[in-house]
Structure 1
Amino acid sequence: MADRIMQHTNDRSPAVLSWLLMWAPPTPHFRVPPGRRIAAPAGRLSRCAFGTETVLRHVLISLCAAVIAAGQVFGQTADRAESEDLAPGHTASIRVFGSGLGKVTRLWTPFAEFERTAENSADGKLSDQAAAFSGIVPADVVPGICRYRLFGNVAATGERLLVVDDLPWIAHPDGSESVASAPLLPTTCCFDGQLVAASPRFYRLTLKVGESAAVEVFARRIDSEADPVLRVLAPGGREVVFCDDTPGLSGDAQLRFTAESDGEYVLELRDVKHGGGARYGFHLRIGQFPLIRGCYPRATQPQAAINGIGDPSAVTKVQDVPDGHDFRLTFASADKTHASADTPQTGFAHGFATAAAPVAETEPNDSQETATSVAADAVAAAGRFDRPGDADWFRIPASAGTLCVTAHTRELGSPADVVLQLWNSDGKKLAESDDNGADDAQLTTKLPGNGDYFLAVTELTDGAGDDRTYDLEIDRRGRLELTFAVDVISVPQGGTAAVPLSVRRIGISEVADVHVNGLPEGIHAHALVLNEYQKSAVLTLSADEKRNTHAEITVFGRVTADSESPAEVTFPAEFRRIEDKKSPLPFRRPRITRSLFVATTSAAPFSVHPEKQLVTLTPQSEAVVGLKIRRDAKCTEPVVVAVTDPKAPQPPGITLSDVSVAGDTGELVIKAGEKTRPGTYSLDLQGTLTGDKTTLIQPVPTITLEIVRP
């Protein structure tokens, strides 16, 4: 079975694979159509806990097919990308290195799609180890870190990262393995490359006395295994400057140095542990640009006032994106001496787009008496630690009920480690939170009554500086956290894909429904209702027959909290990898990811289609749902339709008939018992076809049950 499953997985999903296999049915062979994956959207930040209890066993048993592909195309992996001329308004070439790339035909980015060029291997087939792409970068693209995916006619890969740069591009020069053969570089340039184990890269720069150069390397920020170190040697071999980790750059490095004499200066780039290999890619830029370590606030409306962290500079361009996504922005140096229209010499940063700008802390706010006031309708706040031991206080008006404050630092590039404390107006501490597992602090408490409450935000290590920022989400009515373990979904043409979803409720017991934004024409989401007893759920997507399409989508839960406050509250879903210490996944920089890539793939061997997906019942009644089975000629065995996991909590009082369909049609009988509680529920079903050597499992579009009083 493991061999069969591995046909549909890749390097980004071994932990998912090993975890799922614990629950896989004990069949000698297990074949499933291309898998699926996810992450999601909108309007606010989200950081969901993902513990061992949050995805229940019933999701895993039935959805090996759904999760196991984990975003790569039948074992395809993308280790790194090396680009040339990937600049706004230019025709770019992108070469991706990895394995299993023979079926890839296109490279997707949010701003353009790049066609694979005719670069064949010796046997005339497309290479499995490298794929080259070419296309035009729109002139209005904002430079910076950008996500990409590879896809073909089967499925799509998980999210990878590359750098769009407005500096002049050059190909990686030969001879950089030693100081003696170090290539001479232009004083303004950028390029992609790869580190080799135990062999630093060396480059030469010719400078005159008094001339300066800025150097920046992107590695950890683009999910490279490399932890880069930069070093500059003067013409005589003396070390001029050394940089390992620059605060706020996730382990990357940047530096600026000034020539003390005329001559050739040597730039050394290596991994801190002298590592190297296929996953040790980097992007190096050299010029007169400002050294930017981030922005403040890091989570805000893209067009709001944003300040750069680092060298004095001004924002020149902000990417216009919908909330729930990263945005890129460029900063121009205050010194325009070296900038031009063709070479603007900008520094890069990225932020996270939200629907509303945060309330910024205002000094002095070191006590309850001087606390920064947060409006009753404000949902976010932001601040920074200006000095060691700094404490920022916020006055938060709230009603009796659950208050949840969620901090975001590392996911947004800040090195701060936040501690949250909540106090009442009498000076009594009500709650405190440091770390929330592997995530930043999240403070949750039940407030005894209406009034003003005071939130103290401090840095655990007393660290300070303009880069030690924090962003806070403030949920006064509780919080619903939805999490996906995969970020790509492959939907079979004419069939259905299932997306496992974990559910965590914080002070919210109301029924929630799940919605999807951005679906392309030809792919449809089925209604999904989350009841108070559910810790997991299944979102199903179906595709039209013979439909080739793809898109990035977002998923969110919607709650109407209570009759007194009927306004709807939405909570975005978020991608969270399942980590496994025994099978470590490739490095991935902590970040908030909600973009879920969905693409159609070839038809599944069989599929199950209920004739109606909304069933209304009263207690002590039953309904019959017709089932249509579409199958390949080779799939002649009966298809058994049942709940995904009988051990998972089902709608109380609901029973289903046993269904085994030998032909093309069948019937499912749904009965509501005497004690069935009125409400709306979702049925998670699957179809199973067992042959002599192979078991096939396909999800069934979700059926919504509406139980009403007689």
Structure 2
Amino acid sequence: MKLVVAVILTLTTALFAQSPGLTHTSPGALLPGRTQALTVHGANLLGATNLWTGFGAKALSAAATNASAAKFQVSVPATVPVGIHAARVASANGVSSPVLLMVDDLPSVADAGTNTRATSAQPLAWPVAVDGAAAALGFKFYRVTVKAGARLAIEAVAKRLGSKLDPVLRLLDLKGRELAFSDDESGLGGDCRLAHTFAVAGDYLIEVRDINFGGGSDYRFRLRVGDFPLVSLPFPAAVKAGATATFAFVGPQVDQLKSVTATVPPDAARLALSAKFPGGKSSAFAAALVSDTAEFVDAEPNDSAETATPFTLPAGLNGRFLKPKDRDFWKFDAKKGQRVLFTAQTRSLGSASEVMLQLRDPKGTAIASSSPNDAGEGSVTNTIPADGTYFLVVDELIRRGGPQHAYRIEAARLTPGFTLDTEVDKVEAAPGGSFTVKLNVARRDFPGPITLAVFGLDGVTLADDAIKEKATSGTLKVTLPESAVPGSLSCFRILGKAQIGDGEVQSIARTTSALKKLFPAMPFPPRELDGSIALGVKAKP
């Protein structure tokens, strides 16, 4: 009997000591400027009392008496734009990986669960958003009432939240006739949306399903129904860290939107932006990248070498294809022997475009071109053969153009350096204890040692904080102070530094591979999480 009791106690202790894990939240979004309840769902949540969000929300109270759910009262700043953000929880047993949720100006309702037939469609008083999950081998139906001349925007947010759902939307009349359809809109990462203006007042149906008729708790979605514009990304698509910029918007329906001016917050990896039509009740959302280089915007007309937009390396190049067959010329000065790299960003930003890049010499002769078979979004590199003014020509792959077509090019001078990455997104240790992070190194014409540093953690001690000469990996050891508080949660980054030539080169360790494992359904994991590692302080055994 004593042996049985001992085994039970051991198993119970082991289960209790497991780190918290998250699957989703309810509601699927929080309203800006409000204090509201947020329930996080998952496993091992008993005792979870610390909530972290990527949008500065404050947890006022916590009730975590259930292993599969913890409830928080959360205050959200009124200044937070509509958009997709991350959250984590921590307890004395460790810290969770992130879960994605929205800040939304649409009120939330839960899916009825019984709305799997058109005859039992869930009525919606729009503007509203529904948090639900797809029905396996079936459909979800929602009923809306509209006036003649009303415009209705419908958006399924699923893959962008890490869901397995590959959504399909249909708008139907009550006789089942299809008025609009959407599947895999370009730039939405597998999600879809549509907008329709009704000629006749009455009731209509919204149908949601998975493209392969999958369903269940892993096939969650947030169905947004309102009067919001269809925005894909801001323009320019990036802003330099610490700068203030004015943004227009790119997307299928953006013609009435006013420009927005915003300043990048300190240490931000992206700048969330939202927009609504004049007099509108609901917002679209987008995000600008935050870069460490100057950002240039194409000056139309720039469709020839004579009218090329000038820039200096390194830089971000922001352009638009305003009409079909539009072409952009950029020009820069370079010296013989310099190595240059141009990397396109389109789908990862939300753009409908795919681009072709061509590098031309001062005489206009092509010396390098990207390939449509590139694994990424297109790139071109070359060693400059002689001093002079060179041209980068940017074309849309199949010569499309219009309000939803834009791009950004990272223009870099390739010099000796290195990059770091790790396969972990979180670590745990007790007060006075340690954790390790293995770092992989990709070197570029630099064999020397790399010094490691951590920022975002106070009072820690580092060991093995140098990667040896020519090494392709290293393991950093971090020891917490005895004053670390069990149940607390911090986010930090690892910085590599090396003396190369007359200057110091720095590189933040990326966590891309860890994020791809966490969000396998997302073609482009959340950029703002890349490089951020969470520390959960555990109780001492």
TM-score w.r.t. the length of structure 2 is 0.85
Would you say 1:87 and 2:58 are equivalent positions? Answer: no
Q: Could you tell me which residue of structure 1 aligns to residue 480 of structure 2?
A: 543
Q: Could you tell me which residue of structure 2 aligns to residue 392 of structure 1?
A: 328
Q: Could you tell me which residue of structure 2 aligns to residue 351 of structure 1?
A: 288
2-side partners of 1:503 and 1:433: how far apart? 26
User: Does the residue aligned with 2:115 lie in a helix, a strand or coil?
Assistant: coil
Would you say 1:596 and 2:541 are equivalent positions? Answer: no
1:303 counterpart (236, 244, 248): 244
Identify the range of structure 1 (195-204 vs 317-326) with the bigger mean alpha-carbon deviation: 317-326
**Matching residue's letter, 2:218:** R
Contact 1:214/1:255 (<8 A) preserved: yes
Q: Could you tell me which residue of structure 1 aligns to residue 67 of structure 2?
A: 127
**Matching residue's letter, 1:87:** L
Would you say 1:163 and 2:102 are equivalent positions? Answer: yes
After TM superposition, the structure 1 = structure 2 runs for residues 385-464 of structure 1, keeping only pairs within 5 Å, are: 385-399=321-335, 400-434=337-371, 438-464=375-401
Q: Could you tell me which residue of structure 2 aligns to residue 382 of structure 1?
A: 318
Would you say 1:534 and 2:466 are equivalent positions? Answer: no
User: Does the residue aligned with 2:108 lie in a helix, a strand or coil?
Assistant: coil
Structure 1 residue 218 displacement after superposition: 1.0
Cα distance, 1:403–1:357 mapped onto 2, change above 3 Å: closer
Structure 1 residue 202 displacement after superposition: 0.8
Q: Could you tell me which residue of structure 2 aligns to residue 106 of structure 1?
A: 50
Q: Look at both structures and tell me which one has the larger radius of gyration over its CA atoms.
A: 1
Would you say 1:501 and 2:442 are equivalent positions? Answer: no
User: Does the residue aligned with 1:170 lie in a helix, a strand or coil?
Assistant: strand
**Matching residue's letter, 1:139:** A
User: Does the residue aligned with 1:292 lie in a helix, a strand or coil?
Assistant: coil
**Matching residue's letter, 1:445:** N
Contact 1:80/1:279 (<8 A) preserved: no
After TM superposition, the structure 1 = structure 2 runs for residues 42-61 of structure 1, keeping only pairs within 5 Å, are: none
Structure 1 residue 216 displacement after superposition: 1.7
Contact 2:187/2:348 (<8 A) preserved: no
1-side partners of 2:372 and 2:420: how far apart? 19
Q: Could you tell me which residue of structure 2 aligns to residue 485 of structure 1?
A: 423
The number of residue pairs the alignment matches comes to 514
Cα distance, 1:431–1:285 mapped onto 2, change above 3 Å: same
Q: Could you tell me which residue of structure 2 aligns to residue 328 of structure 1?
A: 272
Contact 1:234/1:265 (<8 A) preserved: yes
Contact 1:381/1:472 (<8 A) preserved: yes
Structure 1 residue 502 displacement after superposition: 1.9
2:521 counterpart (587, 609, 634): 587
Cα distance, 1:233–1:436 mapped onto 2, change above 3 Å: closer
Cα distance, 1:84–1:469 mapped onto 2, change above 3 Å: closer
- 1:504-527 deviations in Å (ceiling 9; x for gaps): 23345565444433x232334557
Identify the range of structure 1 (109-118 vs 178-187) with the bigger mean alpha-carbon deviation: 109-118
After TM superposition, the structure 1 = structure 2 runs for residues 621-640 of structure 1, keeping only pairs within 5 Å, are: none
TM-score w.r.t. the length of structure 1 is 0.66
Structure 1 residue 171 displacement after superposition: 3.5
**Matching residue's letter, 1:502:** N
Structure 1 residue 361 displacement after superposition: 2.2
**Matching residue's letter, 1:572:** I
Structure 1 residue 406 displacement after superposition: 2.7
Q: Could you tell me which residue of structure 1 aligns to residue 11 of structure 2?
A: none
Cα distance, 1:459–1:157 mapped onto 2, change above 3 Å: farther
User: Does the residue aligned with 2:513 lie in a helix, a strand or coil?
Assistant: coil
Structure 1 residue 270 displacement after superposition: 1.4
Contact 2:61/2:74 (<8 A) preserved: no
Cα distance, 1:601–1:294 mapped onto 2, change above 3 Å: same
Structure 1 residue 576 displacement after superposition: 1.9
Cα distance, 1:83–1:480 mapped onto 2, change above 3 Å: same
Q: Could you tell me which residue of structure 1 aligns to residue 513 of structure 2?
A: 577
**Matching residue's letter, 2:147:** K
Contact 1:179/1:266 (<8 A) preserved: yes
After TM superposition, the structure 1 = structure 2 runs for residues 513-524 of structure 1, keeping only pairs within 5 Å, are: 513-517=451-455, 519-524=456-461
Contact 1:250/1:589 (<8 A) preserved: yes
2-side partners of 1:514 and 1:454: how far apart? 38
1-side partners of 2:185 and 2:495: how far apart? 35
User: Does the residue aligned with 1:284 lie in a helix, a strand or coil?
Assistant: strand
2-side partners of 1:503 and 1:437: how far apart? 23
Structure 1 residue 325 displacement after superposition: 1.1
Structure 1 residue 485 displacement after superposition: 1.7
Identify the range of structure 1 (416-425 vs 160-169) with the bigger mean alpha-carbon deviation: 416-425
Contact 2:62/2:73 (<8 A) preserved: yes
1:475 counterpart (406, 412, 421): 412
2-side partners of 1:139 and 1:486: how far apart? 33
- 1:402-426 deviations in Å (ceiling 9; x for gaps): 3233332333223433333333224
Structure 1 residue 94 displacement after superposition: 2.3
Gaps of 5+ in 1: 1-33, 35-72, 121-125, 606-710
- 1:58-109 deviations in Å (ceiling 9; x for gaps): xxxxxxxxxxxxxxx9465422222177111212222333334345433310
Structure 1 residue 545 displacement after superposition: 1.8
Contact 1:494/1:543 (<8 A) preserved: yes
CA-based RMSD of the aligned residues comes to 3.1
**Matching residue's letter, 1:493:** P
Structure 1 residue 385 displacement after superposition: 3.2
Contact 2:298/2:317 (<8 A) preserved: yes
Structure 1 residue 155 displacement after superposition: 2.2
Structure 1 residue 307 displacement after superposition: 1.3
1-side partners of 2:448 and 2:309: how far apart? 32
- Percent identity over paired residues: 31
2-side partners of 1:322 and 1:602: how far apart? 29
Cα distance, 1:161–1:497 mapped onto 2, change above 3 Å: same
Structure 1 residue 163 displacement after superposition: 0.8
Q: Could you tell me which residue of structure 2 aligns to residue 314 of structure 1?
A: 258
Structure 1 residue 286 displacement after superposition: 1.6
2-side partners of 1:584 and 1:345: how far apart? 30
Structure 1 residue 205 displacement after superposition: 0.9
2-side partners of 1:584 and 1:509: how far apart? 32
- 1:565-592 deviations in Å (ceiling 9; x for gaps): x4x4433332222699xx9974234043
2-side partners of 1:171 and 1:232: how far apart? 20
**Matching residue's letter, 2:521:** F
User: Does the residue aligned with 1:577 lie in a helix, a strand or coil?
Assistant: helix
Contact 1:547/1:600 (<8 A) preserved: no
1:203 counterpart (123, 127, 142): 142
After TM superposition, the structure 1 = structure 2 runs for residues 654-673 of structure 1, keeping only pairs within 5 Å, are: none
**Matching residue's letter, 2:359:** L
- 1:495-552 deviations in Å (ceiling 9; x for gaps): 32221222223345565444433x2323345574455512222233221124124322
2-side partners of 1:560 and 1:133: how far apart? 47
Contact 1:409/1:440 (<8 A) preserved: yes
Structure 1 residue 368 displacement after superposition: 3.6
2-side partners of 1:604 and 1:119: how far apart? 20
